[in-house]
Amino acid sequence: MLRILFNGGDNMLGRAIQLTLPTQSPNESLLRDSCSSQHYLEMGLHPAGRATKTLEEIRHANARGEYLWGDYLHLKINPPPNLRLMNLETALTRSIDNKDIPWDKGINYHCHLDNIEGVIEGYRNVLHGSSVASPVCVTLANNHIMDFGRQAFVQETLPFLSAYTERNLGSTQFAGVGGTMHEASRPANWTLSVPSQNKNTGEVNVYVVAVGSMDSGVPSQWKATDDSAGVFWVPRLDSMEAVNDAVKCLSHWLTVHGIAPNNRRTTNSLLILSIHWGPNWAYRYHGDNQKYRQEFAHQCIDECGVDVIYGHSSHHIRGFEAYNGKLIVYGAGDLINDYEGFANSGDENYCEHGALILADISLETKTLHQLQLIPTVMDQLQLKLLCPSWQSYLDIWNPRTKTYERRSHHENASRLCNAVNDLTKLDAGRSHGIQLRLLKDPDCCSSNYALVYP
């Protein structure tokens, strides 16, 4: 059995989160979309609600992400994950004033390059009860990785990624971007020792390929080519023609990198597709071309030999599907963001809760054995368990009333469970959709509730 931990879907390290990290670019706090980064920081810390650390103390703690990762740092998971994945949806640069920055995008997320190593190290070093930290895959094929221009991406981001991977001997790898299409499509890969059903330890080769679809806002100009840097890009999934083109593109590059479909692959390998797809705030829409994303996912499994699909973009958790037993995550939600400080009109039904997602995959069949969601929430720009076992309630910040509201763990977990199950009916239908149930005091971790299947 292989246990995968998905670190939510979207990890947004820009704006207020960036301002809680130690190093800032000149005028960092003045970067703005609907308001300045400084204002997002003030809303996110909401100091009127309760006492908090000073910004200086937070930045000092975040030299290794100790404030940011919060409860995650002490989370024991039984058994620990064999592999961890996260989608990092922020440009990673030092410069924020180059002439080629696409300001017309409207929202540009920036994290200073000198901060990112500490943030990743703080996450990577968590053992979850094991004696050795499990490897980490950071996927970058999304609609914010080049927010601060191609020049900085080529001259700053890509050299950092290469050097960091080499320094860490591949224990942390990046996927979905590169100096050419060949590099951007190259899978991250590990050979992992995993117990099998007969309790003997065997080895499994795990490959992670990351792509970004235009329907999530990845511009076509960001597409990597034979002679230009960028992301592994696929077209907007809004027609069968587009779906077929995207499947052919994926199949081609998998073949280039020596990854054959299931019927020609060895049994000791597993292929994970990380894909940034679909609109933000998908719960608002019922006609968002989901049928084409579902068709793409099914074809990736049937024709490309994909075993697990890790989807993200929507900023809230979407539906889950077991298609021929293979796990499809249509939207893994947000784990890290600065959204807690504000509320948009018309989004009263938005569920702000995220989750750490544990997927147990049978290596004999490559199918889903069990799915568990550990509910989380951001509080003062710090990751918290939504249902910590060491207390019977959690105070949740309400940006509309600017007060904390006390809610029971059952109330919080039920709200998330209902929201996810409703979206599963829309995203996956009733035949293959995964309906989660609440489990009190799960064995997997120190959360009072988990959302589980079966």
Q: Look up the domain containing 52 and give its range.
A: 2-453
Whether residue 199 has pLDDT greater than 70: no
3-class SS of residue 313: coil
Count of domains observed in the chain: 1
Whether residue 109 has pLDDT greater than 70: yes
Taking every pair of Cα atoms in the chain, the longest distance, rounded to a whole number of angstroms, is: 60
Quick one: what percent of the chain has pLDDT higher than 90?
Answer: 88
* Cα 208 to Cα 83, 191, 411, distances in angstroms: 11, 12, 36
Cα 49 to Cα 35: distance, rounded to the nearest angstrom: 21
Question: Is residue 68 within 8 Å of 402, Cβ to Cβ?
Answer: no
Residue 263 is predicted with a pLDDT of 64
Helices 158-167 + 113-124 axis angle, to 10: 30
DSSP secondary structure string for all residues of 164-181: HHHHTTTSEEEESEESSH
* Cα 63 to Cα 22, 59, 114, 116, 203, distances in angstroms: 6, 7, 10, 9, 35
Question: Is residue 402 within 8 Å of 341, Cβ to Cβ?
Answer: no
78-99 pLDDT, tens digit per residue, is 999 999 999 999 999 999 999 9
Whether residue 264 has pLDDT greater than 90: no
Could you tell me the end-to-end alpha-carbon distance of the chain, in angstroms, rounded to an integer?
16
Residue 198 is predicted with a pLDDT of 64
Whether residue 430 has pLDDT greater than 90: no
Residue 219 is predicted with a pLDDT of 98
Confidence (pTM) = 0.97
Least-confidence region, from 17-31, 54-68, 214-228, 258-272: 258-272
How does the average pLDDT of the chain come out, rounded? 95
**262 vs 105 pLDDT, higher one:** 105
**149 vs 431 pLDDT, higher one:** 149
Mean pLDDT, rounded, for 392-405: 93
141-183 pLDDT, tens digit per residue, is 999 999 999 999 999 999 999 999 999 888 999 999 999 999 9
Q: How far is CA 10 from the centre of its chain?
A: 4
CA angle 398, 377, 132 (to 5 degrees): 165
278-310 pLDDT, tens digit per residue, is 998 876 766 689 999 999 999 999 999 999 999
Whether residue 249 has pLDDT greater than 90: yes
Cα 22 to Cα 132: distance, rounded to the nearest angstrom: 28
Closest CA to 290 of 338, 256, 328, 250: 328
Question: Is residue 248 within 8 Å of 304, Cβ to Cβ?
Answer: no
